[in-house]
């Protein structure tokens, strides 16, 4: 007879049949006599005391991404300093070489477009000032 290692409630193992559609499949259940109810054998946690009934489930650790390799950091960097954030792309361990090249080309093209628009705006403003005779 198994017992919960934390609350010491006895858990005898009985066999019963569960009906799934038209097929009957045998399922092991644990019966807790103190509470007079059955708990499936696949249960991993005691519903009375809340502790795990056996081996803890294996959870693979999520590798922590460095701050400079996070997508949010890269987006904020590009929005604030533009092409000066390109070194963050090139030291990013997650991106492949192809992705780094694509991001670099896109950033340089957008930067070039912004420079052209900015110079055109400055030229238009200077022409306006000359017409108004401020300069």
pLDDT in tens, the chain (135 residues): 566 666 666 665 554 444 333 344 455 555 544 555 566 667 677 766 666 666 656 677 777 888 888 889 999 999 999 999 999 999 998 899 999 999 999 999 999 999 999 999 999 999 999 998 876
Q: What is the pLDDT of residue 60?
A: 72
Say what the pLDDT of residue 45 is: 73
Q: What is the pLDDT of residue 25?
A: 45
Query: How far, in Å, CA of 43 to CA of 54, rounded?
Result: 9
- pLDDT at residue 32, rounded to an integer: 47
Q: How confident is the model at residue 7, as a pLDDT?
A: 67
- Range 25-32 contact pairs with CB under 8 angstroms and sequence separation of 24 or more: 30/2
Instruction: Please name every residue paired with 24 in a beta bridge, in sequence order, or none if there are none.
Output: 19
What are 106's two structure tokens? 């896109």
What DSSP element (H or E) covers 48?
none
* DSSP, res 52: B
- 90: tokens are 């090139």
Distance, in Å, from the CA atom of 77 to the CA atom of 26, rounded to the nearest integer, reads 59
């Amino acid at each position: 007879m198994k017992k919960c290692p934390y609350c010491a409630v006895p858990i005898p193992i009985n066999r019963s049949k569960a009906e799934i559609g038209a097929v009957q499949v045998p399922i092991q259940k644990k019966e807790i006599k103190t509470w007079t109810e059955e708990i499936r054998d696949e249960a991993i946690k005691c519903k009375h005391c809340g502790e795990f009934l056996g081996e803890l489930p294996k959870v693979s650790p999520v590798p922590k991404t460095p701050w400079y390799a996070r997508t949010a950091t890269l987006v904020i960097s590009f929005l604030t300093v533009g092409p000066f954030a390109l070194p963050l792309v090139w030291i990013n361990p997650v991106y492949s070489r192809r992705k780094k090249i694509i991001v670099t080309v896109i950033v340089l093209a957008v930067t070039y477009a912004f420079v052209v628009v900015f110079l055109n705006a400055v030229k238009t403003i200077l022409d306006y000032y000359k017409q108004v005779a401020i300069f």
